[in-house]
Structure 1
Amino acid sequence: MSFKRIARDWNANMRMVVDVPYDFVKKQIAKQSNRRSYVSSLIKQHDGDVDEETEAAIKQTAAVMYAGGADTTVSSIRGFVLAMLLFPEVQRKAQQEIDSVVGSDRLPQFDDRDNLPYVDALIKETLRWIPVTAMGVVHTADEDIHYKDFVIPKGASFLPATWWFLHDPAIYSDPSSFEPDRYLEPRNEPHPNFASFGFGRRVCPGRFLADESLFISISRLLSTFDIKKAVDGRGNEIEPQISITPGMISHIRDFPYDIKPRSEKYADMIRQVEVEHPWEQADAKFLGEDLSMQSAKV
């Protein structure tokens, strides 16, 4: 396939990502069957009379929020699970801290974080160990940049080597190891957010939400589950391999693992979450129908 055909296909896909969800919400509003969402709230703020510029802004920001937050969070959670298999002592230490601070009668909350320094450090290490973007996004020099004996001319494009920044042995001791202790006394190695969320005006706008999302997800996984290596038919542990897909977002290839509630009490707690927040049928089916119709037009 020629690069021109690839570019046309990608452009069509991007248009669908931006246009189809927005048009779907407009249809739902017209039928008075919409769910409360970012897009529906903004459309209703304008009483449905959205000018072209505002419409473009709503479409683009909604698409960016979804695209920027979906794959990236999944990538970090998979990295965390893999780390728990390869470094089980980290899991045990984090669970001990949660048990001593939170107890076993409730799940960790956002305001517990200040009292969970090791878990907080574990979140930092998750961001550093296998960064979501190995190379970051393209930047352009808006003026000549002089760095040591180098000159980066105005207009030059360059990619930040995020993986190297977060695995530089001059900054992080034994960088291939998953060690939350590196951020605590007495080591005090740098917080990885100097590189993990990008740089300058292109820094990730959702970095604070992403960090909080990782904390609540990982702390609750640690609180309620034991994550262990899977075993084969002979009862031998299967050693997972670190293998990452190419692309802008780093995804760890599938690996076997075993995850179970830490006790029956935690199993009951997990079931209670389902009672308090029951599963609901989403609109993916109907959105998919709109997407199929749009694809047929392209």
Structure 2
Amino acid sequence: MDTIFYALLSALILYVLYLLARIGHRPNGYPPGPPTLPVLGNIHLNPHLQFQIWANQYGGVYSLMLGTKTMIVLSSDNPIKDLLDKKSAIYSGRPDLYTGQTLMSGDKRMVMMNYGSPWRTHPLLQTLFENLDNYVRLNTTGGAMAADFYPILRYLPTSLMPSKREALDHYNHEIKLYTDLYLATKRSREKLRSTSRPCVCDDVVEVQAKEGFSDEYTAHIPAQLWEAGSDTTSTQLYAFVQALLLYPHIQAKGQAELDFVVGPDRMPTLEDMSSLPYVRACVKESFRWHPTAVLGAFPHSTSENDTYNGYRIPKNAIILTNTWAIHRDPKRYPNPSVFDPERFIGDNTTSSESANCMDVSKRDHFGFGAGRRICPGMNVADRSMLLGISRIFWAFDIKPKKGKALPTQDDFEPGFVAIPKRFDVDVKPRSDGREKIVRSEWEKAKEGLDEDGQFLGGWGGPKYNGGQSAGPTG
């Protein structure tokens, strides 16, 4: 009897060891990828430059084994068009992000959901930014990723998994912050609806009443609109300033265009953009040269098994868009590491129009993603960048700081958004007259804001932005 027991126990142990050894193993038929280690798979290897190397080695579609999870990396334009756009019905899910979505968001952060489920110094805004910074930090810890790729770790008590306690503490703080802000805004809108400018929160309140969403759930809608735009456009402009230091001839050409079209007596507005082809090309090149989401921001996930070019793609696979590798592909963009707006001269499409182009080889860039999860704010980003870059050209001279080294290209701070590491720069007005105009426009803008930087009054309020109304806000 003892012999049979020990034989069965030995067989069970061997079977468990076999299953453990299979974790991280790439099954037959999956897209190719780098060699794996037992249990770890490829989880010990780091992006994003490595992802580009693998794209060159394994092609436009390759796979990584991350513990118990499979990641499919799309590193060229045709697979993105074929899968994320044409098969968006099954490629628009989100991975099972235990820390980021379940613990830290209470399953309320819509950007992570599967379908069916300049006043920064102000104390309140500072709190919002600190909250977002903490969210990013906790999402990129080893504990967060370990629980995503090895689900069994989710059952550990918080005493043995400190990252779990930190994530839950973050959620409790964040949900109160966002809910309090939403309810305060909701009350304010009810009082001022007849006189205030249109606000997205008005629509959110109507949706909440119609769908019966809780205040906590609804609060995440405007909160995520803020999160999505809080540092993306500013990072793009920051990277553009870096490009002006590394490629000074860009500034000279841009300034010449602004001087010819706009002149010295007023700031450029959106009405000028059709006459500023070089500015428009600089915007497109900025999105290409320095995408803020070098690995496609939040990955997608498959809701069904699929095949592509003879390869198996399993259900619940993580789908990553390797934006960096595509934007550094010399076949698409000659001399891809060089900031060269000339490559987009004559391309008058917006980011949205280009993303919907049937011929994916003609798409300008992939910075806003693809498929059903494509960034809904791309038109706002386009306009913000057009105004930002044109006004930098018009108003300022950007030069290296005397005695300081030039910034290192492609050297980023860690985090979701690829922010260039700090560098020194000398920014001066091009003339006294332009400085006076900039200061005058800023004073006009402040007339339409309260002490918290919020818009005052109705549509008859002050005009600014070089003759542009502020437009809807909220």
TM-score w.r.t. structure 2 length? 0.53
Partner of 1:247: 415
| CA RMSD between the two structures | 3.0
Q: Secondary structure at the match of 2:266?
A: coil
Q: Equivalent residues in 2 for 1:138-153 (5 A)?
A: 138-153=299-314
Post-superposition CA distance 1:52-76 (Å, at most 9, x none): 4285675233112111111111111
8 Å contact kept, 2:179–2:215? no
1:164 aligns with 2:325: yes
- Quote the Cα distance in structure 2 between the aligned partners of 1:88 and 1:16: 47
Q: Equivalent residues in 2 for 1:58-97 (5 A)?
A: 58-97=218-257
In structure 2, do the counterparts of structure 1 residues 101 and 58 end up closer, same or farther at CA, with 3 Å as the change threshold?
A: farther
Q: Secondary structure at the match of 1:201?
A: helix
- Quote the Cα distance in structure 2 between the aligned partners of 1:122 and 1:222: 11
> Of residues 115, 118, 133 in structure 1, which corresponds to 2:275?
115
Partner of 1:267: 435
Q: Equivalent residues in 2 for 1:136-285 (5 A)?
A: 136=296, 137-184=298-345, 190-193=362-365, 195-232=366-403, 237-242=404-409, 243-278=411-446, 280-283=449-452
In structure 2, do the counterparts of structure 1 residues 44 and 167 end up closer, same or farther at CA, with 3 Å as the change threshold?
A: closer
Deviation (angstroms), 1:6:
3.2
8 Å contact kept, 1:22–1:39? no
Post-superposition CA distance 1:265-293 (Å, at most 9, x none): 11111122123222645438xxxxxxxxx
- Quote the Cα distance in structure 2 between the aligned partners of 1:204 and 1:103: 35
Partner of 1:105: 265
Deviation (angstroms), 1:44:
8.0
Deviation (angstroms), 1:14:
4.0
In structure 2, do the counterparts of structure 1 residues 157 and 91 end up closer, same or farther at CA, with 3 Å as the change threshold?
A: same
In structure 2, do the counterparts of structure 1 residues 150 and 87 end up closer, same or farther at CA, with 3 Å as the change threshold?
A: same
- Quote the Cα distance in structure 1 between the aligned partners of 2:277 and 2:220: 37
Q: Secondary structure at the match of 2:312?
A: strand
8 Å contact kept, 1:171–1:190? no
8 Å contact kept, 1:135–1:161? yes
8 Å contact kept, 1:183–1:190? no
TM-score w.r.t. structure 1 length? 0.81
In structure 2, do the counterparts of structure 1 residues 278 and 172 end up closer, same or farther at CA, with 3 Å as the change threshold?
A: same
Post-superposition CA distance 1:5-59 (Å, at most 9, x none): 232134335424531321232454688799756266448879x978742856752
- Quote the Cα distance in structure 1 between the aligned partners of 2:326 and 2:173: 33
- Quote the Cα distance in structure 2 between the aligned partners of 1:199 and 1:39: 24
Deviation (angstroms), 1:141:
1.4
Q: Secondary structure at the match of 2:307?
A: strand
Post-superposition CA distance 1:208-256 (Å, at most 9, x none): 1111111111111111111111012xxxx53222321122111112110
One-letter code of the match for 2:405? I
Q: Secondary structure at the match of 2:321?
A: coil
Post-superposition CA distance 1:166-197 (Å, at most 9, x none): 111221111111000111269xx84444x110
Post-superposition CA distance 1:97-140 (Å, at most 9, x none): 11111111211111211111111010011111111111121111
After superposing the two structures, state which structure 1 stretch, 253-262 or 149-158, moved more: 149-158
- Quote the Cα distance in structure 1 between the aligned partners of 2:308 and 2:210: 47
8 Å contact kept, 1:135–1:162? yes
One-letter code of the match for 2:324? W
1:9 aligns with 2:180: no
Q: Secondary structure at the match of 2:334?
A: coil
- Quote the Cα distance in structure 1 between the aligned partners of 2:203 and 2:310: 51
Partner of 1:295: none
Work out the number of aligned pairs and report it.
276
8 Å contact kept, 2:280–2:386? yes
**Which runs of 5 or more residues in structure 1 are unaligned?**
285-298
- Quote the Cα distance in structure 1 between the aligned partners of 2:205 and 2:294: 40
- Quote the Cα distance in structure 2 between the aligned partners of 1:140 and 1:109: 41
8 Å contact kept, 1:131–1:196? yes
- Quote the Cα distance in structure 2 between the aligned partners of 1:128 and 1:220: 20
- Quote the Cα distance in structure 1 between the aligned partners of 2:391 and 2:372: 33
One-letter code of the match for 1:239? L
Give the percent of matched residue pairs that are identical in Structure 1 and Structure 2. 33
In structure 2, do the counterparts of structure 1 residues 69 and 19 end up closer, same or farther at CA, with 3 Å as the change threshold?
A: same
- Quote the Cα distance in structure 2 between the aligned partners of 1:198 and 1:40: 26
* Structure whose CA Rg is larger: 2
One-letter code of the match for 1:140? S
Q: Secondary structure at the match of 1:277?
A: helix
Q: Which has the higher helix share?
A: 1
Partner of 1:20: 180
In structure 2, do the counterparts of structure 1 residues 87 and 38 end up closer, same or farther at CA, with 3 Å as the change threshold?
A: same
